[in-house]
Amino acid sequence: MNAWLRGNETSHDDKGVGRYAHPSAFPRTSSLPGTSRDPSSAVASRLVVRLRTVSTLLYVVSALAMLLFVHGGWFEFTREEVGGLDRVVLAGGVLVGSVWFFPWGRFERHVLLVPMSAALGLIALAVYFSGGWQSPLSIFYLFVVAFCAIYFSSGAAALCVAVTLLASLSPQLYAPDQARLVEYLIFQAPAYAGLVLACRYALWERTSLQQERDSKRIRDLEERLRHEASLDPLTGLYNRGRFETRFKEEFERTKRTGERFMVLFVDVDDFKNVNDNNGHRTGDKALNLVAGVLRSCSRRRIDVVARHGGDEFLVMLPGTSLPEANRFFERMRDQVAESSRRTLGLDLRLSAGAVQCPGGSTDPTALLDAADEAMYRAKRLGKNRMFAALSLASAEHRRASRTEE
């Protein structure tokens, strides 16, 4: 049977490994209750929270300023004007209360033009009761302009600013003054426009910075996911797919350069007995031990170690000869035996098949078949050894027979 093509099926000696996979190998399809949310709902929720916070802060500041102006003795107002201003403050509190209790998040953002229009009306009334053209409360129009510039689109913000400018000219209705009107237009119109541009620019800068941070975070996350997708969840080694990619890259490179490299197909002998006699948790520890030894023995950065599946591992040693590969296997085998006896109380042994690549082959799969067949030969010769395939004929014959079947 071709070990390379059968993927992650059970190993030669452990037909039950696949049934007891490591928990992290299973797909995480379930999520915690309440964590799945519609993105549009989340955005609407944040908008409502910010709207409530900003409107409350603006109201508190405005109410305190108005009460200070009215009752602090800074300006002289008639009883009717004081009563009117107090009623404006009360009406503003009602408006802020509607912001808190009305479900604004269910509607589009432009629905906020309704409370903004009401706020403009209250400010116009406050200006009327506090002196008209001379009213210090006309500064509150700037709050409306800034709010519209931040929360609405450019077109809606321009419309709001135009309406606000007209509302600020309301004293012309009850105290006509042509000179004041012209002066007000000359100074207020550019001031409103400049405030809108400043707010829009600050918003654009903040949005650009946030998008840049989000893009970097997404890139980092994608890179981490790609890295994790190439790893075996139990051992932390490369998985079979990642090894296949690296193997094909090295195969094509050595075909161009004429260099050679070795591939070892490693299998833990009698691993089924480890699971049956000691439990699958101990079997997982044994596999991690083998993986750790493989990682420590392949010291060069160009060496590639992967878990093929079950108790099978793959090792690629670029620029390595057969004698060097044999010394590598002996060192690895001795360390696995010594470490398993010391830490697990087991006597783990390894069998391996080796093949030199490219070896005149044009098909990388045939080389892996040859390494698999060589590993079978090592087991038939008594296990706990490495067998090198000097010819691809056996593997190619086996593949041809399977194709005919």
pLDDT in tens, 37-90: 444 555 556 667 777 787 788 788 878 877 777 777 677 777 777 788 888 888
Q: How far is CA 394 from the centre of its chain?
A: 48
User: What pLDDT band is residue 392 in, cutting at 50, 70 and 90?
Assistant: low
- What confidence score (pLDDT) does residue 51 get? 72
What are residue 309's DSSP bridge partners?
312
Residues 77 and 85 sit within 8 Å (Cβ to Cβ): yes
- What confidence score (pLDDT) does residue 47 get? 65
Q: What are phi and psi of 344, to 5 degrees?
A: -115, -10
User: What pLDDT band is residue 142 in, cutting at 50, 70 and 90?
Assistant: confident
- Mention every residue, 6+ apart, whose C-beta is less than 8 A from residue 404: none
User: What pLDDT band is residue 405 in, cutting at 50, 70 and 90?
Assistant: very low
Listed range (155-159, 249-253, 281-285) with the worst mean pLDDT = 155-159
The more confident residue out of 4 and 62 is 62
Q: Please give the model's pTM, rounded to 2 decimal places.
A: 0.51
Listed range (22-36, 204-218, 262-276) with the worst mean pLDDT = 22-36
- Please tell us whether the domain made up of 235-404 is placed in CATH 3.30.70.270: yes
SS3 245: helix
User: What pLDDT band is residue 362 in, cutting at 50, 70 and 90?
Assistant: confident
Residues, the chain: 405
Break the chain into its structural domains and give their ranges. Answer: 40-216, 235-404
Beta strands in 226-348 (DSSP E): 261-268, 304-309, 312-318
User: What pLDDT band is residue 24 in, cutting at 50, 70 and 90?
Assistant: very low
Q: Within 13 A of 135's CA, how many CA atoms are on the CB side? A: 27
Within the chain, what is the greatest distance between any pair of CA atoms? Answer: 112
Residue 314 has pLDDT above 90, yes or no: yes
Average pLDDT (363-382) is 90
